[in-house]
Amino acid sequence: MNVADELLTGNVLAGGRAIRWLDDGDPRGAQVVSAIFARTGRAHIIGVTGPPGAGKSTLTSALVTEQRRRGRRVGVVAIDPSSPFTGGAILGDRVRMARHSTDPDVFIRSIGTRGQAGGLSRSTHDACLVLDAMGYDVIFVETVGVGQDEIDVAALAHTTIIIGVPGLGDEIQAMKAGLLEVGDVFVINKADREGFDAAYRQFELMLHLRADAAAATDPPWSPPLLRAVAVTGEGIPGVADATDGHAHVLRDTGEFVRRSAKRAVDQTLKLLQAGLTERVIDRADTSILAAVEARSIDPYTAAEHLLRTLQGQQAP
């Protein structure tokens, strides 16, 4: 049996291998996706994001436990910052997740960021397809920060959880603003800490402003603001209720399928863009690039010229 067939039966070794191939850009990964794609689109993909120190891993781990309690098979895609030093491993997080390692119905995989713009969301999308085909009902995608990568990752989830935490400064709250639009469920974690009330009010205000700005969302969904203490499990069932409820609304309105379809098209365009860029760079007139280096042609003029040259190569 080949890797695609194996992973469709739920074989974790085959699943892990496919994800590694895809993360590495190994062409066998693309073959696996071709073979499994028709069997995907069923899993509920939940993005978990928030600033450093908000307790994303602990909350994700608690939600995994809760979803298992609800009888679901659970996958986790953890996005590690690539680093030659840590190898992307965050030891503390690994330990927190370790309690699921003996559960055959939980599958956790880390993927690297590869340092390539757009590469992260491409790899994450592929990993979600593999876990989806393996039959996991719920897939958590846990990001590391609050930048553009996180917004891209949120775009590929059905449901995005944004985690806040008491006691972080103005800068954090402002950063979160960029993520506010993509949040479906908001959770203030570490709610037993000093500063909870202030953080709650800040989030409430932001959500209120958002409600004004986007009165008619599709589907109609009013993002709840919840409190949790992930280390003790307090508030976790409420968070799971909220994500389950959101999935329910998405399925009822047909939005679940539409989001999956949109993701697949986005992925196609990203792959197309990557492939094109590779070919163009292979063929680009290097004398123009040398002129840019020497500052005798500016980047805009050079790019325009290269584009025109490529068009000139095409049949009329």
| Site residues (CB under 8 A) for a second copy, limited to 185-244 | 206, 209-210, 213
CB of 290 to a second copy, least distance (A): 9
3-state secondary structure of 34: helix
Tokens of 252: 């009822």
Find the binder of a second copy among 12, 177, 233, 248 (CB under 8 A): 177
Find the binder of a second copy among 123, 150, 166, 247 (CB under 8 A): 150
Site for a second copy in 98-137 (CB under 8 A): 113, 115, 117-118, 120-121
Find the binder of a second copy among 16, 25, 41, 237 (CB under 8 A): 41
CB of 281 to a second copy, least distance (A): 6
Cα distance between residue 196 and residue 214, in whole Å = 26
Total residues in contact with a second copy, by rule CB under 8 A: 92
Find the binder of a second copy among 104, 216, 222, 293 (CB under 8 A): 293
Contact call for residues 184 and 211 (beta carbons, < 8 A): no
Torsions phi, psi of 219, nearest 5?
A: -80, 165
Q: Taking the chain, what is the end-to-end CA distance rounded to the nearest angstrom?
A: 48
Q: What does each C-alpha distance from 178 to 36, 70, 244, 263, 300 come to in angstroms?
A: 34, 33, 24, 20, 29
Q: Does 264 bind a second copy (CB under 8 A)?
A: yes
Q: Does 296 bind a second copy (CB under 8 A)?
A: yes
Q: Does 10 bind a second copy (CB under 8 A)?
A: no
Stretch in the footprint of a second copy (CB under 8 A) among 11-19, 177-185, 190-198, 234-242:
177-185
DSSP-H helix ranges across 156-235 = 170-180, 196-213
Residue 100 is classified by DSSP as G
Instruction: Compare residues 201 and 279 and give the one whose CB is closer to a second copy.
Output: 279
